[in-house]
Amino acid sequence: MTNFPFATIGFDLDGTLVDSNLDLLPAMNHTLELAGRSPLDYEQSKRIIGGGTREMLQRALLHTGGPIAETEMDALLEQHFTYYEAHLADNTVPFDGVLATLDNLRERGVRLALVTNKIERFARKLVEALDMIHYFDCVIGGDTLGPGRAKPAPDMVREAIGRCGGHSNFVMVGDSRFDVEAAHAAGVPCVAVTFGYRDRPAEELGADRLIDHYDQLIPALEQL
């Protein structure tokens, strides 16, 4: 282990490590069609990803005509999951520089945790399909800890710290308010990528540092 300032880094998945909107959007549009709604475009869907699938679909429905009853929502969500599970790695790719950065961090002995509001099973399936699973010491999804404990609650970050050896020198890397709020609620810093998915300007996320490309991540972490 070099004198790198962080023992563990928690990475968000959607919009941070991978451009998964390339598969989330077609899945969402498939589901909107089932509900008799019009499709969203790539930029619209970027603004509604981050709080888990149910919230994403609720927001998609709000944008396209209004909410539906909770019972209908449960059925629609199931259909959405079936479609997305079959297509989650059709088009999704890591953002530029991600793999080289993760290689570099592993070589430094840094532990990496995947801390995503995606359902754990889908997150694992996606990073396996992209041959990225080997980077992570643990995978914590939005359903891993049970209801009410997904980001922006601090629980997933605390769980990642615990599962990666309990070292408090932990930093979160994310793209949305869910990541920044979860990190800060857990008492750790957060670096945000400016190219991800969010519902407000990057400058308004409250992140400790912003990066525009993965080339900037390690220098940013060294300056935190």
Instruction: List contacts with ligand PGA (CB under 6 A).
Output: 12-15, 49-53, 56, 116-118
Nearer to Mg ion, 37 or 155 (CB): 155
Bridge partners (DSSP) listed for residue 113: 10, 138
Number of residues counted as binding Mg ion (CB under 5 A): 5
Query: Which whole-number Å values give the CA distances from 33 to 20, 64, 91, 105, 153, in the listed order?
Result: 20, 11, 20, 42, 32
Bridge partners (DSSP) listed for residue 214: none
Q: Which stretch binds Mg ion (CB under 5 A): 15-23, 53-61, 70-78, 155-163?
A: 15-23
Phi, psi of 129 (to 5 degrees): -60, -35
List the x/- string, 141-180, binding to Mg ion by CB under 5 A: ----------------------------------xx----
Q: Where are the beta strands (DSSP E) in 4-130?
A: 8-11, 111-115
- Least distance from C-beta 21 to Mg ion, angstroms? 10
Catalytic, out of 12, 19, 23, 143: 12
Q: Which does 116 bind (CB under 5 to 8 A by kind): ligand PGA, Mg ion, none?
A: ligand PGA
Question: Is 137 among the residues known to form the active site?
Answer: no
CA-to-CA distance for 13 and 160, rounded, in angstroms?
14
Q: Which does 52 bind (CB under 5 to 8 A by kind): Mg ion, ligand PGA, none?
A: ligand PGA
Q: Which does 211 bind (CB under 5 to 8 A by kind): Mg ion, ligand PGA, none?
A: none
Q: Which stretch binds Mg ion (CB under 5 A): 12-20, 21-29, 74-82, 156-164?
A: 12-20
- Closest residue by Cα to residue 211 from 197, 196, 200: 196
Three-state DSSP state, 17: coil
Q: In what order do the strands lie in the sheet with 170-174?
A: 138-140, 111-115, 8-11, 170-174, 190-193, 209-211
- Least distance from C-beta 126 to Mg ion, angstroms? 13
Cα dihedral 189, 96, 164, 53 in deg (nearest 10): 80
By the rule CB under 5 A, 12 interacts with Mg ion: yes
14 marked ligand binding residue: yes
Nearer to ligand PGA, 189 or 196 (CB): 196
Exactly one of 14, 23, 159, 208 binds Mg ion (CB under 5 A); which one? 14
Three-state DSSP state, 209: strand
Return the active site residues: 12
Interaction site with Mg ion (CB under 5 A): 12, 14-15, 175-176
